[in-house]
Structure 1
Amino acid sequence: MQSMLPGAPWLLAHKSMLSVNQPQKVSLYGADYVMWKDATGAIHALPNACPHMGAMLSEGWCEVESNGTSAVVCPFHALKFDAEGSTVLPGSDKKTLSLLKPLELTIQGDFVWSYGGYEPKIPIPTVLNEIANTYEFVGHTADRSVETDLLSMLLNMHDYNHQNGTHRDLFRITDVEFHQFIDDGHRSHAFYDMPTAPYSLTEKLRKPDLMLLPSTIKARLENHFPSLVIFHGEMPFGKAAQCHFFVPESEHRTRTYILLFGQAKHSIFKLLSSTYLKFGKVVVDQDADILGKIYPNTPQKVKLNNEVGMDWVRRNFESFPTVVEPNLSK
């Protein structure tokens, strides 16, 4: 279980990812849950297996109660479960005791966090609240499950040498010029530049989105172990905070997705938001693709320069939740 870091907080959803009264399956620590948002904006989550015959509640529907809240309905026998996991059996007018233990959620604004039923070992990072207060929410993208363990996912995300390999396609990254890494325990910052090979004018006219790609991508990463990497970007028309999230669905399956926030300097920034989301999805898809083409147990006989981010991940993973030396700032 240590491989999934019990006691860490995981962002299961932004409220915008949940349609009103539409059940949705989420997974955490090897367990599946049904999550739904009612018309009052309240978020609920129960174990996904109906306690009658195991049907997936996420495949059912919601029924609205008189007070505006809603219950999730099993698609097999139409048993209706309220947010506490209770139901009323056919032929009875009396509610049962809770048959499904609700998943404990922590709601902060539009952010839905959970410790998965474990005792909290580290606090929920406050940075998302700060971003939400100063940036405008743009949208979410690239929500997918990847057949990889949490550690492999995190090592990939903090491997600052893979950009000109994994992300060469589309972005045409030619090199990684690493500048600085700041180690602050469960938080860190990385600064590096990625020169790119230019597209021709013909290519840009054929695909106008390519005009938004800079000649040098300046990476300014803010990392919060273990669940969050924020790419802070400066663009001609505004600033962006592209937030990448990781959730251990099971020992060998990790969910990832992106929330994008922006500060517009020009009205055209909003018009380009779909393109920025599209670029983010490409990054996640490329990372997922390479993670499916790795022999995970291969002994590492070569160490590249600037693997400091990966060393930061390994140290925090092994010592979790304790922060230990060394400080890897460079």
Structure 2
Amino acid sequence: MSMLEGAPWLLAHKSMLQTNQPQKVSLYGNDYVIWQDKTGQVNGLPNICPHMGAMLSEGWCETEADGTSAVVCPFHALEFDRHGCTILPGTDKKTLPQLKPLDLIIQGDFIWSYGDYQPKIPIPDILEQIAGKYEFIGFTANTSVETDLRSMLLIMHDYNHQNGTHRDLFEITEVRFEKFIDNGYHSEAFFNTPTAPKTFWEKLKQPNQFLLPEVIQAHLENYFPSLVIFYGNSPFGKIAQCHLFVPESLTKTRTYILLFGEASNPLAKLLKNQFLGLSKIVVEQDAGILNKIYSDAPQKIKLNNEMGMDWVNRNFTTWEQPRI
């Protein structure tokens, strides 16, 4: 089972980090603590105190005169700066690094990491492009799912599951697939999904339906393995819904959504929480179906339009092959 070591992973958007509030993230079976200081600098260390193993993410931060901060162990209040150095009680000198900092790559508000593995593919610049074009609405559905990375990605690239997994949410009547463009570790999919017609009074019972067009015109842009972007239109403007994936361990995958929008209706900003709520439901439903699948069951039936799933499987297979 592969976690695709050497891929770039978006650990967080800066909006997900409160100033001087330690937060735990996991990658490749290792736990880290990350925090953002008053200067906006983001730091990362292994989450285990080298004294007696306390979780640093359960501690707090102490700010220095220059605005930078150290993370403090909740057990004995040892302070560790961003280099992993501390000052032992009864001394006034910093130790040598006791913890190896996690190598973070900060691009604007985006916090990437290769988890200290040698990079195999570059960080995609599409999120910075989206941030320059659309307004950032927020993040939602930051969830750890008890599933391996491959199973998670297969669900996200299954273009037939909307009218099953998301039946109650979208009431999609069919999937009209148009085309799939395969560019190696980058791909795009285009399809339309008509939804069941609703009266005004029926929509009042399910207010999320006011956010949806009668035909969802889906454009998915995929960056293997960590990012799926849904570009869509609503009665209130355009959205770019960015689904992120992080392999926490062999059997656990974290997913979350960064939502961007371009309003065409003054009401759009008032509906910010509704759009985030709709996105959260999508993730919850995808996570829910993953807990209802026998992962070792053989696939005896193949449906039309499974090109996205084939793309995922091929890239997993070729990932470990030598690059020329």
* Residue in 2 that maps onto 1:114: 113
Q: How far apart, in 2, do the equivalents of 1:290 and 1:175 lie?
A: 20
Letter in 2 for 1:210: Q
Which residues in structure 2 correspond to 1:91-102 (within 5 Å)? Answer: 91-102=90-101
1:247 counterpart = 2:255 = no
Which residues in structure 2 correspond to 1:202-241 (within 5 Å)? Answer: 202-241=201-240
2:211–2:236 Cα contact (<8 Å) kept: no
- Post-superposition shift, 1:208? 3.1
Q: How far apart, in 2, do the equivalents of 1:69 and 1:223 lie?
A: 36
- Post-superposition shift, 1:303? 0.6
- Post-superposition shift, 1:205? 2.4
Which residues in structure 2 correspond to 1:22-61 (within 5 Å)? Answer: 22-61=21-60
Which residues in structure 2 correspond to 1:54-69 (within 5 Å)? Answer: 54-69=53-68
- Post-superposition shift, 1:321? 6.2
* Residue in 2 that maps onto 1:7: 6
2:213–2:233 Cα contact (<8 Å) kept: no
Letter in 2 for 1:6: E
Letter in 1 for 2:151: S
- Post-superposition shift, 1:217? 1.3
Q: How far apart, in 1, do the equivalents of 2:265 and 2:153 lie?
A: 35
Kindly report the root-mean-square deviation, in angstroms, between the aligned alpha carbons of the 2 structures: 1.4
- Post-superposition shift, 1:322? 6.2
Q: How far apart, in 2, do the equivalents of 1:133 and 1:48 lie?
A: 33
- Post-superposition shift, 1:190? 0.4
Gap change, CA 1:322 and 1:263, over 3 Å in 2: farther
Counterpart of 1:4 in 2: which secondary structure? coil
Q: How far apart, in 1, do the equivalents of 2:77 and 2:68 lie?
A: 18
> Percent identical across equivalent pairs?
67
Q: How far apart, in 2, do the equivalents of 1:284 and 1:209 lie?
A: 15
1:122–1:321 Cα contact (<8 Å) kept: no
- Post-superposition shift, 1:196? 1.3
1:289 counterpart = 2:288 = yes
- Post-superposition shift, 1:323? 10
1:185–1:323 Cα contact (<8 Å) kept: no
Gap change, CA 1:322 and 1:268, over 3 Å in 2: farther
Q: How far apart, in 1, do the equivalents of 2:262 and 2:321 lie?
A: 36
Name segments (4+ residues, structure 1) moved above 4 Å. Answer: 321-324
Q: How far apart, in 2, do the equivalents of 1:253 and 1:261 lie?
A: 27
* Residue in 2 that maps onto 1:328: none
Counterpart of 2:310 in 1: which secondary structure? helix
How far does the alpha carbon of each residue in 1:245-291 deviate from its partner, in whole angstroms, 9 at most, with x for none?
00000000000000011112232221122111111111100000000
Which residues in structure 2 correspond to 1:122-137 (within 5 Å)? Answer: 122-137=121-136
Q: How far apart, in 1, do the equivalents of 2:257 and 2:247 lie?
A: 15
2:213–2:235 Cα contact (<8 Å) kept: no
Q: How far apart, in 2, do the equivalents of 1:9 and 1:121 lie?
A: 8
Q: How far apart, in 2, do the equivalents of 1:299 and 1:97 lie?
A: 53
Letter in 2 for 1:220: H
* Residue in 2 that maps onto 1:168: 167
Unaligned stretches of 5+ in structure 2?
Answer: none
Letter in 2 for 1:13: A
1:121–1:321 Cα contact (<8 Å) kept: no
* Residue in 1 that maps onto 2:104: 105
Gap change, CA 1:137 and 1:165, over 3 Å in 2: same
* Residue in 2 that maps onto 1:309: 308
Letter in 1 for 2:119: P
1:137–1:262 Cα contact (<8 Å) kept: yes
Counterpart of 2:158 in 1: which secondary structure? coil
Question: Quick check: 288-297 or 170-179, which moved more?
Answer: 170-179
Question: Quick check: 261-270 or 304-313, which moved more?
Answer: 261-270
